[in-house]
Structure 1
Amino acid sequence: MTGSPASPSFRLAYVPGVTPGKWVRIWQERLPDVRLELVAVSAAEASDVLRAGDADAALVRLPVDRTVFSVIPLYTETTVVVVPKDHVVTAADEVVAEDLADDIVLHPLDDVLDWERPPGQPAFERPASTEDAVELVAAGIGLLVVPQSLARLHHRKDLTYRTLVDAPRSDVALAWPEEATTDLVEDFIGIVRGRTVNSTRGRAQAPAEARPERKRAEPKGGARKPAAGRSAGRGARGGAGGSGGSGGSTGKGARRGKPRRRS
């Protein structure tokens, strides 16, 4: 937890394209006395910011070092190709990599997709950033494949995008240093997981002696009575005494003798 004990705060880093607004609003409703500070970082910087203690947690793009950070995957983004509005691929709602084979596809240095080989024809140089690559697309120099949130972040009126169905996708997750799982981190985990305000999951549970014990429900009318058939059977066997005798018990438990053959 950053800040002093007198004025606690929680610092949340987030990478481009990720919008933490919904979770921030819930935090402010539940923890109005704890200031939440947002720290915008690049995808490449997020891990270093957490290691340095400059943020308590971060909304990152995977992968990250799982030996250092605890991770909760949140969602997977659709991948799209950003094109000029008059490009031929806009005739379809979805495209495949083969549809881009004759186009120059820009591959910025801050690309967050795990490509073996990007589709299309490579440009002479890799743009320094996704923002620079978008400008090149607008200039008619090539196309750009990115997670959908980045296409929205860098939206331009002269550009549009289409879903690229056979491209790698970007996974967004909440990450924090494993050795720094504070109560405030647990509070934020509860928010992103959709837990209710009264949920105690993740926080220290009350000691066993402090929890009320459950009383076992008793059947109506007091103690349970033995089944009628079972008690009758026992009584019948006891009354017969093994002599087959008089008294002629007809209880369910009584055994009838084999009838004698008439001569």
Structure 2
Amino acid sequence: DNLFSVDHIQFPCDAEYTSHLKDTLVDGEFIIDNADGSNEPSFWINDIITYNGQNVSKKTFPQRLTLIFQSIVNIRNKAIGNGHIKKATQPFSIRNKYFFGLSEVNNLLSRNFIETIPHEIDGLLFLPEKDAYKSGECLRVLKWKENETIEFRLKITVNSSKISGLPEKNADLFLNHENDPYATMRYLPNLEQYDNKIISCSYKDSQWHFHRLRDDRPCPNSKQTAKSVIDAVKRPVTRETLCGLRKDE
């Protein structure tokens, strides 16, 4: 993992900014929002581990979400509204990710809802309400995508053809912390622009296919994530199955 120091970002403890938030650890995702044609960098908080020096990871998920909204995002927005924080000086905005009950799955998959989101989304995340926060892999969390993809680092390599002996280009796909390629995709000239970059690939017909550039990601997926995606491709959870879920299941 990489660490980054960000200057000029402010987190007040209250709307009047009498003190600054400290010793706080959150889990989130950096996203480029596209609202009204303008690109706005945003950090979306989806969970919290420590708040102002207090361990809150054992609280239920709804309690942690409430803490994120009330004590971080909402207070910060009020401080901006009160003029204690100049929004124009902030390197990016801070938002809380919204979560819904199982009864809302059908609505969340609808085009009307998707069009209200200011950035591209590719699936749904299902989390247990009563569990404590768990870092790393968690088998009780399901990330569902209608079209499963893996993020690889693409490397264009040149080898001698086994048939003609002439130089032949390959599109090798690497996972995080792996020195050997996980797979090879059929080389196409338009892939040259993505050499040594993170790309999203789908797997069908026993082949890997380019899906899109992931310039928002600093590193590719892990080997364990790749295994999970392959398992999901072999045993897919359909949209119809999700829409039929009930809270008591």
TM-score category by the smaller chain? Answer: under 0.3
Give the structure-1-normalised TM-score: 0.20
Higher strand share: 2
| Structure index of larger Rg | 1
